[in-house]
Amino acid sequence: MTVFDALEAAELLSLPPTPFVLAYWSTATIGPDIHIKVGRTLYSVPWKLIGRRIGVRSTATMVQLFHDGSLVKTHAVLDQRKRTDKSDYPPEKTAFQMRTPVWCRSQASEVGDACREVIDQLLEVNVLYWLRAAQGVLGLRKQYSDTCLEAVCARAISVGDPCYRTIKGILIASTETNPEPETSGDAGAAAFLHGPARLFVTAATPNTTDDDHNDQVHDEAEVETR
């Protein structure tokens, strides 16, 4: 102890502020989907680094991503197949995924001026309350052409009721009155040949009452916005 006190004690260094953590270092190239794979999990990286090669420091509790020596992203290690921070996507991609008012207005502009006016009116006041209705109107693009949706939006505006239920109801009524011609699926087969549509007997569809029809229109709004 005499030697230690006299020669060695003064040379001792203080303990580091944090405990030693065993870490594994590797490198990865960021793909177009802004994710890299570490172990069995995909981790998102800021989109501006797509195509760049980055350093990866992984421990038992976290994954740190470095570019040119600077820390650019940290993810907690969880038992998940994919860890995505939506802020890592470019703004337009984030808006599309989240279906925010920005996304709704952008999609409505693609349809036409009348559709954009409907969406603007829906989102003018109490945005959070009317956002689902706006998403529902745009969800009708899955069933109807933009030309048809634009015309119906213009009609809804003219009658002073530009809401989802009115627009959906007009579309259903116009489709029932003037149904679009269906293809036979026979690819122009000769008269003595039968297309695939003729192989089976078409079952009759039961009629629904007006009340059932109205309930269906009401319920479909939430289904189509998911």
pLDDT tens-digit map of 167-182: 999 999 987 766 554 5
Assess contact for 44 and 85: CB atoms under 8 A: yes
Name residues of the chain where pLDDT drops below 70: 96-97, 177-226
* Res 199: pLDDT: 37
Residues 76, 61: Cα–Cα separation, whole Å: 6
* Res 213: pLDDT: 44
53-68 b/e (C-beta count within 10 Å ≥ 16 → b): ebbbbbeeeebbbebe
- Provide CB contacts within 8 A for 77, sequence distance 6+: 41, 58, 59, 60, 61, 62, 63
Q: In this structure, what token pair is assigned to residue 115? A: 């559709």
* Res 159: pLDDT: 93
Assess contact for 135 and 125: CB atoms under 8 A: no
Cα-Cα-Cα-Cα dihedral sign, residues 183, 186, 190, 192: negative
Q: Angle at CA 175, nearest 5°, toward 196 and 212?
A: 100
| Ordered alpha helix ranges (H), the chain | 2-3, 91-98, 101-111, 113-122, 127-139, 146-158, 164-177, 210-224
* Res 192: pLDDT: 40
* Res 14: pLDDT: 84
Residues 6-54: tens digit of each pLDDT: 888 788 888 888 888 899 999 999 988 999 999 999 999 999 999 999 9
Nearest-10 crossing angle of helices 146-158, 164-177: 120
Task: Number of helices (H) and strands (E) in the chain: give both, helices first.
Answer: 8, 7
